[in-house]
Amino acid sequence: MHRFRLLLALLLAPALTGCFASGGAEDAAGDAKDGSRLRVALAFPPAENLSPYGADATILSRLGITESLTALDANGAAAPALAASWRREDDRSWLFTLREATFQDGTDVTPAAVATSLTHATEAKPAPAALSGVTLKAQADGDSGVRITTDRPDPVLPLRMSSPSLAVLSTKAYGKAGAVDPAGTATGPFELTDVTGATAASLDRFDDYWGGRAQAAGVDVKFIADGTARAAALRTGQADLAEAIPVAQAATLDKATREETATTRTTSLLLNTDSGPFKDPKLRAAAREAVDTGALADGVYEGHADAGAGVYGPAVTWAEGKRKRPAGRAEPAAPDGTRITLATYDNRPELPEVAQVLKQQLEKAGFRVELEVREYSRLESDALEGKFDAFVLARNTLVDTGDPVAVLASDFTCDGGYNLALLCDKDVDRAVAEAEGVADTAKRQDAAMAAEAAILGTDAVVPLVHQRIITGVGTSVRGALLDPYERTLVGTGTRR
C-alpha cells in the first residue's frame, strides 16, 4: 500500500516550475549580511482577507508578521511578547507593561495604540474565538501600561492575550466597516508587502523589529492547498519550508527533510445538533457507535496519529489522567437509511480520506451519506451556518488562547463563535462557565475535563484522531519554529 502511494504521488505530483522564484542572480549572489529570502508553501490560503480575527490569524503569526501582548512558551505558559511583564491588580483587572517597540509603519507601540487595537478586536463580528465567554475593556495607563478589565474574573487572561487573533496593529490598520489591513501595520520581524489574492504573498524583513534583525531578507509565500503539490515543491527545491505534508507523501521526501511534531490538534466528526437528522441525540449516538477510530489512526494516518480519546489528545499531557467518563448519552437508534451530508476540506489532505472512510463506516451502520469536499475558504461560512449534517474538522485545541477551557467555550457553547456543531446545551454551558471561573491550574484542568465529559455526553462531537504534523524542512534551512500549538514557523533565526 505504501509503495503504491509513493509511486502514485510521484506520478501525480503537479509540475511546479515557476511556483516560486527560482532564486536566480539575487539568491546566487546571496549577500551574507542580508541573507536569502525564504520560500514557504502554506496549506491554507487566506479565507478572510488576512483579517486577524478568524482562521487567517495563524497565517499571520506563523509567518512572523503579527504579535500579541503575550506568547506561549514550551510548557504552554504565558511568556512576554509585546508586553514585557504583567500583574493582576484584582479579580477583574490586569496591568500589562509594554516593552519599547515600533510598528512597521514607523509609529511607536504606545499604550493608546494597543488599547485601540484590542478594542477593535472586541468589536469584531463574529468575535474572535479567544474572546468567547469574556468581555474585556482595554485602557492606556501612563507611558507604558495597558490596563485590561473583564466583565467577570478571568484568571487566565495572560494566556488569552497570547492568541494570534488578538494581534496588536497600528491605528492605520483599521478602516471602515470593520476592515483590518495587517500590511505594514504589525510589529513582527517580517512585514507583509504584497498579497496576490489567495495564491501568494510577499514579506520583507522589518529592520526595526524590537527582537533583533531577522536573518532572512524576506519570505515568499505560496498558498498551495494540494498536499501532493506542497510535498513536490519541497522535494524539487522550489520551497524551503512546506507545512502539513500529507502522510501519503511523507515517503517521497528524504528523511532529513521531514520533521514530525506532536500537536494539540484533534480531528473530529462534528454533528449538526440544530437541524437535520442529527438534531436527534439517538441518531448522533448511532453515528458515534459506527465510527472505528483505530482504523483511521492506523489506516489513513499510517500510525502518525493516535485514536481519538477526547477533545484533548496526548500532547495535552495532563488530560489523560483527569479524563472523565461521558454521562447522559442517548441510546443509539437504527439509522434505517437516514440521509446525511458529510463535508470536509482538502487543505489537510488526510481529511478527504478520513471522510471517505467515515462514509463507509456510517453506511455500514445504515446511514445514506452524501460526501462534499471543498477548499476550506469555500466551505467555512456554510459550515458555520449549519448547511451540513456532519463535518470533519482538524482543530488545534490550544491555538486560540493556550487555555484548555477557551476552545470549549468557542466550539461548544450557545454563544461560541466557532460552534460548527451548533450545540446549545444548558448543562454544557454551565460546566464550561464553571471551568472558566477556576483560577488554580490543577483545579481548572479538572473542571475542563468535567466540561469535556458533558460535551462528549451530547454526542455533538466524535473525536477521531489526535494528529502529529509533518513539516517539510529543506536541508539548508535552520531555525524553523515548530511548536505543538502551530502558531509559529518563521522567526528571526529562520534562514537558509
* Residue 374, beta-bridge partner list: 345
CATH number at residue 202: 3.40.190.10
Predicted confidence (pLDDT) per residue in 143-165, tens digit: 999 999 999 888 899 999 999 99
> For all residues of the chain together, what is the average pLDDT?
90
The answer to whether residue 356 is domain-embedded is: yes
Q: What pLDDT is recorded for position 8?
A: 38
- pLDDT-based confidence at 54, cuts 50/70/90? confident
Predicted confidence (pLDDT) per residue in 183-208, tens digit: 999 999 999 999 998 999 999 999 99
Instruction: Average the pLDDT over each of 1-10, 263-272, 428-437 and give the range with the smallest value.
Output: 1-10
The answer to whether residue 479 is domain-embedded is: no
Q: What pLDDT is recorded for position 248?
A: 87
- pLDDT-based confidence at 20, cuts 50/70/90? low
Q: What pLDDT is recorded for position 74?
A: 80
Same domain, 60 and 76: no
Same domain, 428 and 372: yes
Q: Are 449 and 468 in contact (CB under 8 A)?
A: no
Q: Which residue has the higher pLDDT, 136 or 34?
A: 136
Maximum average pLDDT range among 31-35, 176-180, 194-198? 194-198
Count of CB atoms situated within 10 Å of the CB of 456: 25
Residue 492 Rama label (left phi>0; alpha psi -120 to 50; beta): alpha
The answer to whether residue 301 is domain-embedded is: yes
346/435 Cα distance (integer angstroms): 34
Same domain, 387 and 282: yes
Same domain, 75 and 51: no
Average of per-residue pLDDT across 304-308: 92
- DSSP, collapsed to helix, strand or coil, labels residue 37 as strand
Same domain, 335 and 307: yes
Instruction: Average the pLDDT over each of 80-84, 180-184, 442-446 and give the range with the smallest value.
Output: 442-446
Same domain, 460 and 354: yes
Q: In terms of residue numbers, what domain contains 142? A: 70-175
The answer to whether residue 488 is domain-embedded is: no
CATH number at residue 451: 3.10.105.10
Q: Are 428 and 458 in contact (CB under 8 A)?
A: yes
Q: E strands within 162-314?
A: 190-196, 200-205, 218-223, 241-242, 258-271, 305-307
99/310 Cα distance (integer angstroms): 39
- The one-character DSSP state at 183 is T
Same domain, 300 and 406: yes
- DSSP, collapsed to helix, strand or coil, labels residue 217 as coil
Same domain, 350 and 270: yes
The answer to whether residue 183 is domain-embedded is: no
Q: Are 222 and 199 in contact (CB under 8 A)?
A: yes
Average of per-residue pLDDT across 112-141: 92
Q: What pLDDT is recorded for position 349?
A: 82
The answer to whether residue 211 is domain-embedded is: yes
CATH number at residue 79: 3.90.76.10
Q: What pLDDT is recorded for position 224?
A: 96
Tally of domains within the chain: 3
Same domain, 228 and 160: no
The answer to whether residue 496 is domain-embedded is: no
Predicted confidence (pLDDT) per residue in 86-107, tens digit: 999 999 999 999 999 999 999 9
The answer to whether residue 493 is domain-embedded is: no
Same domain, 464 and 316: yes
Same domain, 272 and 397: yes
Same domain, 105 and 152: yes
Closest CA to 265 of 302, 312, 298: 312
